[in-house]
Amino acid sequence: MAEREIGVGIVGFGLGGRVFHAPFVNAVPGLRLAAILQRNGDEAAKAFPTARIVRSFDAMLTDKTIELVVVTTPNPTHFELARQALEAGRHVVIDKPFTATSEQASQLGQLAKSKGLLAVPFHNRRWDGDFLTVKKLIADGAVGRLVTFESHFDRFRPVPRAGIWQEAKNPANGMLFDLGPHLVDQALALFGPPDSITASVRSDRDGTAIEDAFDITLHYPGANGKGLLAHCRTSYLACDNSPRFLLHGTRGSFRKHGLDPQEPALVGGARLPRLGSSEVWLQENESAWGTLTIAPNPAAPEKPVKSQVMTELGDYRGFYANLRDAVLGAARPALTAEDGFRIIQLLELARQSSAEGRTLKVKF
């Protein structure tokens, strides 16, 4: 239990604020959902009646009880809102992408450090159940020496949606900066910084104004030339989705389809229990568990053994519980401004690699 309550203000009440932030802040002891900035409408007031609803960012910053500001607004606005919050002495969480450029990310990190504050990217997918399962399998050496890691986050939206900011032409919009931060951050969390990067960043759909597909390969040379390739891929034209994760190693493979169930559960009206209660949040259905295929005898690879692997419990409350403890000085933050900077720099390198048609060295 936290020593005191930390007042939290959420800026924006679209999908991010409504599904990924407000419910999880509200479910973590020691955090108090003090205010929500929703410029129009009353959805936030109905969903969270104990939170104060404000109509401007200035109004939120005048509330001295708010120590932590969560920025979950259109991508191009992230830097300026986060900068203002830090200047006002607030810790900040910034939904992905952290910023539109690595230079902006560097500025936020320096500003936060100068003021003794946290500027944290919301890379919540580190708390996905499927990612935690993959992390455990790799740590256990379940597929032997890992040689290829594939991470897909696909959708099927062949016709661009009209009138929404996500489809508007802007370097901060598009799939590279929307889903790219999740996939690249997970790879860095597993394997650390790569030696080099090769990428194809594309606009595959007819009539699209954004980058709607990418293939990013992170190169890890390893010892004696026995390295690892980590592939991060997204397409808006994936009518039949690829595996979410696919691992190949010297002993076998692991394949996992489907996405973490937390988002669809909340969109569908599920109630998020309070952290620390006896209720379990959220066990994935057995039908969605991944498959581990192993050759017990490498000399007889034609006789593999298949088994289902129960998905670990995913829980985005863990992000906010860690952040609470970090604000109180009781734990190291799981994510830092440096993580945000590195992800944006890698996405910029991916764009450059694609434009120049070559592999680029990675130097942070």
CA pair distance 329, 124, nearest whole angstrom: 21
Q: What letter represents residue 137's amino acid?
A: L
Per-residue confidence (pLDDT) for residue 4, from 0 to 100: 86
Domain boundaries 6-125+318-334, CATH class: alpha beta
Helices 102-115, 337-356: axis angle to 10 degrees equals: 170
List per-block mean pLDDT (blocks of 10 residues) for the chain, which spans 364 residues: 84 95 97 97 95 97 97 97 98 98 98 98 98 98 97 96 94 96 98 98 97 98 91 97 96 96 94 94 96 89 92 97 97 98 98 98 95
Q: What angle do CA 290, 259, 251 make, to 5 degrees?
A: 30
Contact yes or no for 255/245 (Cβ under 8 A):
yes
The CATH superfamily label for domain 127-313+347-356 reads Dihydrodipicolinate Reductase; domain 2 (3.30.360.10)
Residue 311 is classified by DSSP as P
Instruction: Identify the residue whose tokens are 């992905």.
Output: 96
Contact yes or no for 120/93 (Cβ under 8 A):
yes
292 φ/ψ angles, rounded to the nearest 5 degrees: -100, 125
Per-residue confidence (pLDDT) for residue 362, from 0 to 100: 98
Per-residue confidence (pLDDT) for residue 297, from 0 to 100: 85
CA distance to 16, 335, 362, per residue, from 193 (Å): 28, 15, 8
Domain spans in the chain, listed from the N-terminal domain onward: 6-125+318-334, 127-313+347-356
